[in-house]
Amino acid sequence: MLGKVAVEVVESASPFGAATVVHVVDGEEMVAAARSICSHYMLSGLHGFDFIIDERSGATKLIEINPRATQISHLNLGPGRDLAAALFKALSGRLAAWRAPIQSKDISLFPGEWRRDSQSPYLTSTFHDVPHDDADLAQHYGFDLSSGHSSAGSAFAPSLHSTSSSKTSSE
């Protein structure tokens, strides 16, 4: 295992839907399970392991494995927690271009949290994963980067021009 990220879901699109706000955790049980499964099945590439935490026993239980990049795979969350950089190095033998890690342990995922609640306090109190470098993509979801845009890594409130409506994981 070249890198890992473990998060707990804070908010989701629906009771069993995609995460919209996550909190980065050590997730030792999740990481140990993922490491064991990767070793046993000789997995390579990016995989998302989804777990639930049993409310009564506190036990971590695997519910599915997604053999693909997940919605947090592109984020640099610090040493050993930059999956894209780890994959790049494994494939090329070179270090990826340096980019600052996200300092917040709480992340609002774009466009999920904004779609779930455009007035959500998480949009301004967490790192909001808005595609600052792709105004067309942001605009596609009705998100106007020209209003309230701040420096990379800072949260900002969306402009509500034309809204479109429509787990815990370890990699």
* Across 8-37, average pLDDT: 95
**Alpha-carbon distance values, 73 to 81, 107, 171 (Å):** 9, 13, 8
Q: What is the pLDDT of residue 168?
A: 35
Q: What is the pLDDT of residue 65?
A: 96
CB 72 within 8 A of CB 169: yes
Q: What is the pLDDT of residue 157?
A: 39
CB 54 within 8 A of CB 61: yes
Radius of gyration of the chain (CA): 17
CB 77 within 8 A of CB 101: yes
* CB neighbour burial string for 19-50, b if at least 16 within 10 angstroms, e if fewer: bbbbbbeebebbbebbeeebeeeeeeebbbbb
Please state the length of the chain. 171
Residue 58 pLDDT > 60, yes or no?
A: yes
Q: What is the pLDDT of residue 77?
A: 95
Percent residues over pLDDT 90 in the chain: 65
121-165 confidence digits (pLDDT tens): 999 999 999 988 898 998 888 888 876 433 333 334 333 322 222
Give the mean pLDDT of the chain. 84
* Across 10-36, average pLDDT: 95
Separation CA 74–CA 96 (nearest Å): 12
Between residues 73 and 151, the one the model is more confident about: 73
User: Which of 1-15, 18-32, 155-169 has the lowest average pLDDT?
Assistant: 155-169
Question: pTM to 2 decimals?
Answer: 0.80
Of 171, 84, 74, nearest to 127 by C-alpha is: 74
Domain limits of the chain? 106-166
Strands 19-25 and 6-12: antiparallel
Residue 136 backbone phi and psi in degrees, to 5: -65, -40
91-109 confidence digits (pLDDT tens): 999 998 888 999 999 999 9
Name the token pair of 105. Answer: 């342990």
